[in-house]
């Protein structure tokens, strides 16, 4: 039932009071959820910042290792080793529930490999290729970890935005409107009561006069 | 056929030409000059060299470090094929066996490219036709659509029996690495067999090759031990090249050694520690670095699951090459001058590649210099 359809009666007042109580409870819960999500966001943002710093370090190391491998084996040797990769690195996706928000969890799959799993022949390559492969495997794992944190932040921010809109709607529109409606119904009912009293007095006076 | 004790004129001619060709390779001064140049400067410098005409041929298609690397690879292929035309008799046979290394690399690149369906031009750029398999055969192989067809087309290749023995299914996981390892083992076995057949300078060459095998085995042992998951002994057995001066059993014992005393004790019985000590003495200008220190250094890296230090590996290569050259001067009309030239040429190309790539990554000259083999 829309607010405009509520009649200024006792039952209307009860409906408004019930709605008011519900809105206040929802507001309190959403505010708590918002605070919780904000705390979670701050925690994940700190982690994401540190993950990104590590990512930059690992990227710099991977570049350096690639430079050394390319110097020692040539771009040809590095490319041939890269072409030997048989199991393509990937990741699996799962979700964890935080305050009702599905946050992504990414698990690297076939990213870190032992020397014999890499596909290149050990006798055709040097340790520089192993170092470069190690560095890029670390980088790839870190990219996945960073993407996981970034995904969490994006989801949390979306949810925070939606929740904040709902909290604001409750706080600045729904609850004030219901309060206004309650005041209106209460004053209207008081007015009706006063009119009733006046009417009863007049009826009483008319009856006394007839006697 | 020449009389015993007499050296055939063709051998004298070939060895003299190889010695002269070796003197025409880039010198230490050239490298010092190149090291101070930018990548375009190196391209210009090499373009002016008589021996690097490939730069001018490729300048329209490639640029920068890639141009230098492709030109150097083509120059290597041309120089080696020219060396084959100079070599006669046992020199020719030995050169053919030595150059099979490039055939292995080319064949593996084609097989992998065909299996993973990579663009053929991409694979073609990676090939260095310096061996028995010439450009036309490699182009024919590149034109084939499946690796089964490529295997069939390789029936005439000297290392085909290895492919036949270890190839089962196209694209089977780990098959290419296994085949590649076996091809290199057969390559070394072929070289050692040829050297054992007896020729002038073959005894010295045998020592050189066996030492190379020892160093390769030691490096690979460190590589296999590195990482979170240490491989099992069967992998070590499959990876060690037989034929070195150090028996495979010593490497097995090293692999199982758990204390520093045992490890360094075994290592000090081999020729690895003294050579490593010499390399470190040269690299760090530390005359007091002994074989014992070298053994300790290897133990430290072994214990911490670390790989060999690249700079030390390069220093050992420098020592190996210098020894080969001094032997080739002692045995002027043996197979050694040819091998010394082929090895020097191989490392000249590696040096140019290292300089070009190092400069492309903005590394300072002092960082690139340890990777230069002189």
- The count of residues in chain B is 374
- Per-residue pLDDT of A45-90, as tens digits, reads 999 999 999 999 999 999 999 999 999 888 888 888 888 887 889 9
Reference A68, options B365, B368, B283, B313; nearest CA is B368
- The interface predicted TM-score (ipTM) is 0.87
- What is the rounded distance in angstroms from the CA atom of residue B137 to the CA atom of residue B26? 31
In the predicted structure, residue B272 carries a pLDDT above the cut 60? yes
Residue B151 to residues B145, B185, B202, Cα–Cα distance (Å)? 11, 19, 33
**% of chain B at pLDDT higher than 90:** 30
In the predicted structure, residue B241 carries a pLDDT above the cut 50? yes
Instruction: Give the mean model confidence (pLDDT) for residues A177-193.
Output: 94
Range of the domain at A150: 10-176
| Residues A118 and A133 sit within 8 Å (Cβ to Cβ) | yes
Sign of torsion over alpha carbons B307, B350, B364, B288: positive
- What is the rounded distance in angstroms from the CA atom of residue B158 to the CA atom of residue B155? 8
| Residues B333 and B12 sit within 8 Å (Cβ to Cβ) | yes
- Tell me the Ramachandran region of residue A86: left when phi exceeds 0, alpha when psi lies from -120 to 50, beta otherwise: alpha
Instruction: Answer whether residue A182 is part of any domain.
Output: no
pLDDT band with cut points at 50, 70 and 90 for residue B6: low
Instruction: Answer whether residue A49 is part of any domain.
Output: yes
Reference B274, options B186, B355, B215, B358; nearest CA is B215
Q: Is B141 in a helix, a strand, or coil? A: helix
Q: Does A121 touch chain B (CB under 8 A)?
A: yes
| Residues B275 and B319 sit within 8 Å (Cβ to Cβ) | yes
In the predicted structure, residue A1 carries a pLDDT above the cut 70? no
- Per-residue pLDDT of B301-323, as tens digits, reads 888 888 888 888 899 999 989 99
User: What pLDDT does residue B89 have?
Assistant: 84
Question: How many domains does the structure of chain A reveal?
Answer: 1
| Residues B256 and B225 sit within 8 Å (Cβ to Cβ) | no
Which of A81, A83, A85, A128 is most worth mutating to test chain B (most B CB atoms within 10 A of its CB)? A83
User: What pLDDT does residue B231 have?
Assistant: 67
B window 117-176, beta carbon within 8 A of A: 118, 125-126, 128, 171, 173-174, 176
Reference B87, options B192, B15, B158; nearest CA is B15
Instruction: Give the mean model confidence (pLDDT) for residues A25-47.
Output: 95
Reference B218, options B241, B188, B185, B243; nearest CA is B241
What's the CATH code of the domain at A163? 1.10.287.3240
- Tell me the Ramachandran region of residue A100: left when phi exceeds 0, alpha when psi lies from -120 to 50, beta otherwise: left
Reference B359, options B82, B43, B5, B11; nearest CA is B43
Instruction: Answer whether residue A46 is part of any domain.
Output: yes
pLDDT band with cut points at 50, 70 and 90 for residue B156: confident
CB contact under 8 A, B184 and A68: no
pLDDT band with cut points at 50, 70 and 90 for residue B198: confident
Instruction: Answer whether residue A197 is part of any domain.
Output: no
Mapping DSSP onto H, E and C, the string for A36-60 reads: HHHHHHHHHHHHHHHHHHHHHHHHH
User: What pLDDT does residue B186 have?
Assistant: 93
Which of B66, B69, B223 is most worth mutating to test chain A (most A CB atoms within 10 A of its CB)? B223
User: What pLDDT does residue B227 have?
Assistant: 66
To the nearest whole Å, the CA of A132 is away from the closest chain B CA by 12
Instruction: Answer whether residue A166 is part of any domain.
Output: yes
- Any idea what the Cα angle at residue B307 is, between residues B302 and B310, rounded to 5°? 130
The least confident of A54-58, A114-118, B129-133 is A114-118
In the predicted structure, residue A181 carries a pLDDT above the cut 60? yes
B window 257-296, beta carbon within 8 A of A: none
Instruction: Answer whether residue A204 is part of any domain.
Output: no
Which of the 8 DSSP states describes residue B6? -
Instruction: Give the mean model confidence (pLDDT) for residues B273-293.
Output: 89
Spell out the domains of chain B, with CATH numbers in brackets.
Answer: 87-199 (1.20.1690), 209-311 (no CATH)
Reference A13, options A194, A197, A199, A188; nearest CA is A188
Averaged confidence pLDDT in chain A = 92
Name B230's Cβ contacts closer than 8 Å, sequence gap at least 6: B224, B305
Sign of torsion over alpha carbons B64, B70, B76, B79: negative
| Helix residue spans in chain A (DSSP H) | 10-83, 127-169, 175-210
Instruction: Answer whether residue A53 is part of any domain.
Output: yes
User: What pLDDT does residue B285 have?
Assistant: 87
Averaged confidence pLDDT in chain B = 87
To the nearest whole Å, the CA of B166 is away from the closest chain A CA by 14
- Any idea what the Cα angle at residue B133 is, between residues B131 and B138, rounded to 5°? 125
Instruction: Answer whether residue A18 is part of any domain.
Output: yes
Name B144's Cβ contacts closer than 8 Å, sequence gap at least 6: B114, B150, B153
Reference B360, options A78, A53, A143, A82; nearest CA is A78
């Amino acid at each position: 039932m829309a607010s405009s359809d509520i009649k200024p009666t006792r039952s209307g007042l009860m409906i408004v009071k019930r709605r008011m109580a519900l809105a206040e409870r929802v507001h309190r819960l959403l505010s708590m959820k918002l605070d919780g999500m904000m705390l979670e966001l701050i925690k994940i943002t700190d982690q994401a910042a540190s993950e990104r710093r590590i990512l930059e370090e690992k990227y710099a190391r991977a570049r350096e290792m690639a430079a050394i491998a390319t110097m020692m084996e040539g771009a040809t040797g590095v490319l041939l080793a890269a072409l030997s990769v048989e199991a393509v690195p990937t990741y699996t996706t799962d979700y964890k529930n935080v305050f009702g928000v599905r946050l992504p969890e990414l698990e690297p799959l076939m990213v870190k490999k032992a020397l014999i799993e890499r596909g290149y022949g050990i006798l055709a390559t040097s340790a520089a290729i192993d170092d470069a492969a190690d560095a890029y495997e670390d980088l790839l794992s870190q990219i996945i970890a960073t993407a996981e944190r970034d995904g969490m932040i994006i989801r949390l921010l979306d949810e925070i935005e939606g929740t904040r809109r709902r909290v604001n709607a409750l706080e600045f529109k729904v609850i004030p409107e219901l309060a206004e409606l309650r005041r209106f119904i209460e004053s209207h009912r008081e007015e009706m009561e006063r009119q009733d009293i006046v009417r009863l007095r007049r009826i009483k006076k008319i009856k006394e006069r007839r006697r | 056929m020449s009389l015993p004790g007499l050296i055939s004129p063709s051998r004298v001619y070939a060895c003299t030409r190889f010695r002269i060709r070796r003197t025409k390779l880039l010198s230490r001064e050239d490298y010092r000059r190149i090291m101070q140049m930018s990548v375009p400067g190196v391209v210009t410098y090499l373009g002016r060299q008589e021996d690097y005409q490939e730069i001018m041929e490729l300048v329209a298609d490639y640029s920068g470090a890639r141009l230098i690397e492709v030109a150097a690879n083509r120059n290597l292929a041309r120089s080696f094929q020219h060396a084959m035309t100079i070599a006669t008799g046992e020199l020719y046979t030995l050169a053919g066996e030595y150059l099979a290394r490039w055939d292995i690399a080319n064949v593996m690149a084609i097989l992998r490219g065909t299996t993973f369906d990579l663009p053929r031009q991409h694979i073609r750029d990676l090939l260095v036709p310096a061996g028995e398999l010439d450009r036309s055969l490699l182009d024919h192989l590149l034109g084939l659509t499946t690796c089964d067809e490529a295997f069939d087309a390789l029936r005439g290749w000297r290392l085909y029996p290895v492919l036949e023995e270890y190839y089962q299914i196209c694209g089977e996981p780990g098959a290419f690495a296994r085949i590649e390892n076996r091809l290199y083992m057969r390559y070394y076995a072929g070289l050692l067999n040829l050297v054992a057949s007896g020729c002038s300078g073959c005894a010295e060459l045998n020592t050189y090759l066996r030492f190379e095998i020892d160093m390769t085995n030691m490096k690979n042992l460190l590589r296999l031990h590195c990482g979170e998951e240490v491989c099992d002994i069967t992998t070590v057995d499959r990876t060690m090249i037989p034929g070195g001066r150090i028996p495979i059993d010593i490497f097995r014992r090293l692999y199982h050694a758990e204390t520093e005393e045992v490890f360094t004790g075994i290592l000090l019985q081999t020729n690895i520690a003294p050579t490593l000590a010499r390399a470190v003495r040269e690299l760090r200008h530390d005359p007091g670095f002994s074989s014992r220190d070298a053994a300790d250094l290897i133990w430290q890296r072994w214990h911490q699951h670390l790989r060999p230090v690249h700079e030390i590996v390069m220093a050992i290569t420098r020592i190996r090459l210098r020894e080969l050259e001094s032997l080739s001067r002692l045995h002027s009309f043996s197979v050694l001058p040819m091998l010394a030239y082929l090895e020097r040429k191989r490392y000249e190309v590696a040096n140019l590649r290292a300089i070009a790539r190092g400069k492309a990554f903005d590394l300072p000259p002092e960082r690139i210099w340890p990777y230069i083999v002189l």
